[in-house]
Amino acid sequence: MKKVIKICNLDCAACAAELQEELSALDGIHDVSVDFVGQRVTLEHEGEESLAAAIKHISSFEEVEIVDGNAPQKKERHIEEIVSIAVSAAFFLPALILHLLGGFEWVAFGLFLASFGAAGWSVVASVARNFIRAFRGGVHLGVLLDENLLMLIASVGAFATRQDMEGAIVMLLYQIGEFLQQLAVGSSRGAITRLMQLKSDHAIRLVDGVQQEVDPEELVAGDVIFLRKGDKVPADCRLLDETAALDTKSMTGESYLKEINRGEEMLSGCVNEGAAVRAEVVRPVSESAVAKVLELVQNAASQKAKPEKFITRFSRWYTPIVVLIAVLVAVIPPLFDGYNFAAWITPALNFLVISCPCALIISVPLTYFSGVGTLARCGVLAKGAVYLDNLASVKVAAFDKTGTLTEGKFTIGKISGQDRVLEVAAALEQASSHPLAKAFEGVAAPEAENVHEIAGRGIAGEIEKKRVLVGSYKLMEEQGISCREVKSAAVVIYVAEEGEFLGTVEIEDRLRPEAKDALAALKNAGVEHIAVLTGDTEARAKAALEGLPVDEYCAELLPAQKPERAQALKARGKLMYVGDGINDTPVMTVSDVSVAMGGLGSDAAIEASDFVLATDNLGALPRAVKGAKKTRKIVLENIVFSIAAKVLLMVLSLAVGLPLWIAVFGDTGVMLLAVLNSMRMRAKIR
């Protein structure tokens, strides 16, 4: 069973990696993911006993606490860190002046030592805790060998060789870097936390015309609510009045008013900017659009991308190897240099400081975390960071037509044949889950029995013991029913009863207004080939797609044929498939990237997809592709820059020698630059 545990006081990414490794070793615990940025632990457990063991382990890990997921998040004030840095700096500055002036060496030493103590007490405490944990129930050197130990060794080593200024400034600069890192990470946490503001904290329910202010969680399907101007829509609902104007910025990232007409859905999270209106709740808050947004974004961090997994494995072996190399640097060269150990201690300490992997451990997951949040602000929900890399590499895009490129709001058009055509068609369609069936809602019809789908063809059933067929022209042909094929841009439904053709009903659907611009923008974003896979006839598909920048379309496909065609498209490059219905799920499973329409899409399609368009706006797709490309680019920049900078500093330290404080400044600077580069993901994507 899957469990998500909200935590606090997890201080660093290295600690998150340690906690993840320790939890993975517990019996009955699998697929553990510890999200340092989001402060969440996601795991699979085999029973309550194993879950209880995991919770106990989390609670005993350093200062980590488990918090109520519904509790409001406390604002991080960092008072302790600020005071520690300020006191350390207050001791360091006069010590530095005395050191530069000369004389009063013991006074300067005492002040440097006090500066070290003020900044480094938390580091010493962490090393002491890790030392106990490292030798509890065996030997776990990976727990002990973290950045705290590296910095403590460097600082104490500097004092031991009477480089007092370097010993103090190592710890002071390290704590300043840690503080700035926490501010940056906290800012990214805040970006996700602000998504919580999509949720309304109250709703006005109408009961016999009387207004009652209630918690949105109390709303159920069928409740009538009252929305004043400026009110946030608390739950997905259907407009009861003539018109409404909604600001959809919170869900799409773009501030514009969307006109809603009577009977149309209003998604939760949007803001009523028009006159006061009434609406009927269609889904409880737990199943609303806002709930989908928050659940998908918050759980996305548990699905780690390949670079994140690489960094986790890399850091597990990297630190012990670096400590060993530093020991060799301090011991072996002096054997060939007149046993001058003092001359090689500083390069060895520099090596320890410079090699700290914080820049990679923090910046890579932070970039993916920010990328997921940025896509969410555009109205695209990623189910995991792992899918961003796949989306960035997409070269081919395939679309379902009905409900994806078209609005999926079907209306009855022309009716031809006998008087009973409409009511017979409605009787069977109203028992169907097919999107076309929505066009027949509200039509008076007799009761149908033994209704069943004929895949890719239509529906069969009985009305008053008479066998009825409703579906495509091919269904009529296969059943030996004589009729003439109707040429129309609309969807034509053929109706037959007891082997006799009754007539046709035409169902009209319109292209989405943003479809043309969205497909063109996809090509500008790097998608080279766009295809449409549809079960519609050749004539209807051609008429409906006229004017769209589509490279090819495949019509009259049965559900089983769509995956075959998708496999063929993958020969051109990574394939993204966008669909909305149950019949799209097989295609989604064979595609490299799958996208479901969140508003109109079926639960099955949403479950099978990697991304969800929260508001069904295709215009968000090209921005998602651009965002994924930007995320991957920043991740690669951080990896290359961090490794290259550290290798360069290590070489300089061994070749020409560097003061210890420059090594610390270089390490902290590399980390901060990588984190700041990660923050670029929070910029708006056009």
Q: Which positions are annotated as active-site residues?
A: 400
Q: Partners of 454 in the beta sheet?
A: 458
- To the nearest 10 degrees (0 to 180), the angle between helices 164-193 and 660-678 is 10
Contacts of 383 (CB under 8 A, 6+ apart): 296, 299, 300, 303, 609, 610, 611, 612
| Pairing of the two strands 203-207 and 611-613 | unpaired
For residues 189, 193, 195, 199, the Cα torsion angle rounded to the nearest 10 degrees is 170
Strands (E), 1-46: 2-8, 29-35, 40-45
Contacts of 551 (CB under 8 A, 6+ apart): 529, 530, 531
Is the separation of the CB atoms in 385 and 369 below 8 Å?
A: yes
Instruction: Name which of 154, 148, 156, 79 is nearest 117 in CA terms.
Output: 156
Is the separation of the CB atoms in 297 and 379 below 8 Å?
A: no
Q: What single-letter DSSP state applies at residue 73?
A: P
Strands (E), 164-286: 203-207, 210-214, 224-227, 237-239, 243-247, 257-261, 265-266, 271-272, 277-281
| Pairing of the two strands 529-533 and 394-400 | parallel
Reading phi first (left if > 0) and then psi (alpha if -120 to 50, else beta), residue 107 is in alpha
Residue 460, CB-side half-sphere exposure with 13 Å CA sphere: 11
Pairwise CA distance, residues 297 & 111, whole Å:
48
Is the separation of the CB atoms in 676 and 184 below 8 Å?
A: yes
Contacts of 288 (CB under 8 A, 6+ apart): 235, 236, 267, 268
Single-letter amino acid, residue 429: E
| Pairing of the two strands 271-272 and 265-266 | unpaired
Is the separation of the CB atoms in 355 and 587 below 8 Å?
A: no
Single-letter amino acid, residue 283: R
Pairwise CA distance, residues 447 & 462, whole Å:
9
Chain Cα centroid distance, residue 449: 45
653-657, Cβ contacts within 8 angstroms, sequence gap of 24 or more:
653/347, 653/350, 653/351, 653/354, 654/329, 654/347, 654/351, 657/346, 657/347
Backbone CA torsion sign across 17, 18, 21, 24:
negative
Contacts of 114 (CB under 8 A, 6+ apart): 91
Instruction: Name which of 238, 239, 256 is nearest 248 in CA terms.
Output: 256
3-state secondary structure of 683: coil
